[in-house]
């Protein structure tokens, strides 16, 4: 089942075209990874789905991104409800300079979507889902900035889970982490895909091949090839894809 359908998406930063006619259908409850060299537009594509590109001066977009039947690029589309449903994990862990618990309840407080009395339970559930509860249950009042980078990134995922999103966008979520932490976050993603649609941008091809069900390869703003991860890595149809994954291009 398709969760996100991107149709004829073009995006411009001023005169520079960062995305060219991108068409992609991202399936629900799967991990889809986007690979490609730096500057190929994979992060831009990700940030268009939750419309974080609206923050960039001079960014202009046409085409459609359809989630559950509605085009989220419509100027009248409600950004708050979009971002509630489409959470984002960033390259560098970015917990707020507040306590662990406040980080998790931030979304609830902003949206008014839960009663204060339920906060404790939600904090516990969210931390359990990212496997942080045992480590942090006695340190909920500590500043989130005192955690290790891996814990911070987990906390950022827990913070999203608390607002019950349907889609998780991950923009190189492991690039600030060491290999062991990376492996554990990958494990977490695989556990999460049961309940969430996950799109991950990564510069790490091994990561894409380890965790994702389907993979898209981007080059200079275009989606060159998109298909099942096995196919992309073992039997790509495009020569450019083959050159990139074998290290001859990029």
Cα gap 219→12, rounded to integer Å? 16
- Residue 197, φ and ψ in degrees, nearest 5: -90, 125
Q: How far is the CB of 82 from another protein (least distance, A)?
A: 8
Our finding on whether 156 is near another protein (CB under 8 A) is: yes
Our finding on whether 94 is near another protein (CB under 8 A) is: yes
Contact region for another protein (CB under 8 A) — 34-42, 86-94, 118-126, 211-219?
Answer: 86-94
Is residue 95 within 8 A of residue 156, CB to CB? The reply is: yes
Our finding on whether 154 is near another protein (CB under 8 A) is: no
Cα gap 74→206, rounded to integer Å? 36
Cα gap 93→176, rounded to integer Å? 8
Our finding on whether 111 is near another protein (CB under 8 A) is: yes
Kindly write out the interface string for residues 225-244 of this chain, putting x where it contacts another protein by CB under 8 A and - elsewhere.
--------------------
The nearer residue to another protein, 79 or 249, going by C-beta atoms, is: 79
Contact region for another protein (CB under 8 A) — 18-26, 36-44, 91-99, 219-227?
Answer: 91-99
What are 146's two structure tokens? 């005192």
What are 13's two structure tokens? 């930063």
In 3D space, the residue among 178, 179, 211 whose CA is nearest the CA of residue 192 turns out to be: 211
Given 58, 69, 76, 97, the residue binding another protein (CB under 8 A)? 97
Our finding on whether 83 is near another protein (CB under 8 A) is: yes
Our finding on whether 42 is near another protein (CB under 8 A) is: no
According to DSSP, residue 149 is labeled: H
Q: Which residues contact 57 (CB under 8 A, 6 or more apart)?
A: none
Residues that bind another protein (CB under 8 A): 50, 52, 55, 57, 79-84, 87-88, 90, 92, 94-98, 106-107, 109-111, 143, 156, 159-160, 163
């Amino acid at each position: 089942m398709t969760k996100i359908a991107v149709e004829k998406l073009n995006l411009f930063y001023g005169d520079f075209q960062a995305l060219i006619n991108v068409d992609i259908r991202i399936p629900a409850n799967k991990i889809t990874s986007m690979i490609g060299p730096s500057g190929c537009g994979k992060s831009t594509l990700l940030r268009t789905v939750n419309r974080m590109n609206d923050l960039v001066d001079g960014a202009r977009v046409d085409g459609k991104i359809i989630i559950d039947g509605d085009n989220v690029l419509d100027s009248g589309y409600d950004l708050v409800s979009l971002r509630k449903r489409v959470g984002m994990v960033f390259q560098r862990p970015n917990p707020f300079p507040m306590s662990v618990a406040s980080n998790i309840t931030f979304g609830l407080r902003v949206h008014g979507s839960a009663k204060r009395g339920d906060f404790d339970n939600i904090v516990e559930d969210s931390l359990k889902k990212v496997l942080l509860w045992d480590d942090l249950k006695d340190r909920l009042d500590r500043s989130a900035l005192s955690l290790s980078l891996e814990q911070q990134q987990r906390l950022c995922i827990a913070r999203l889970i608390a607002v019950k999103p349907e889609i998780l966008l991950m923009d190189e979520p492991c690039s600030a982490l060491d290999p062991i932490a990376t492996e554990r976050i990958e494990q977490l993603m695989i556990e999460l895909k049961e309940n969430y649609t996950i799109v991950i941008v990564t510069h790490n091809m091994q990561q894409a091949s380890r965790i994702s069900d389907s993979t898209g390869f981007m080059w200079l703003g275009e989606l060159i090839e998109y298909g099942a991860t096995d196919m992309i890595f073992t039997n790509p149809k495009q020569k450019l894809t083959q050159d990139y994954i074998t290290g001859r291009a990029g």
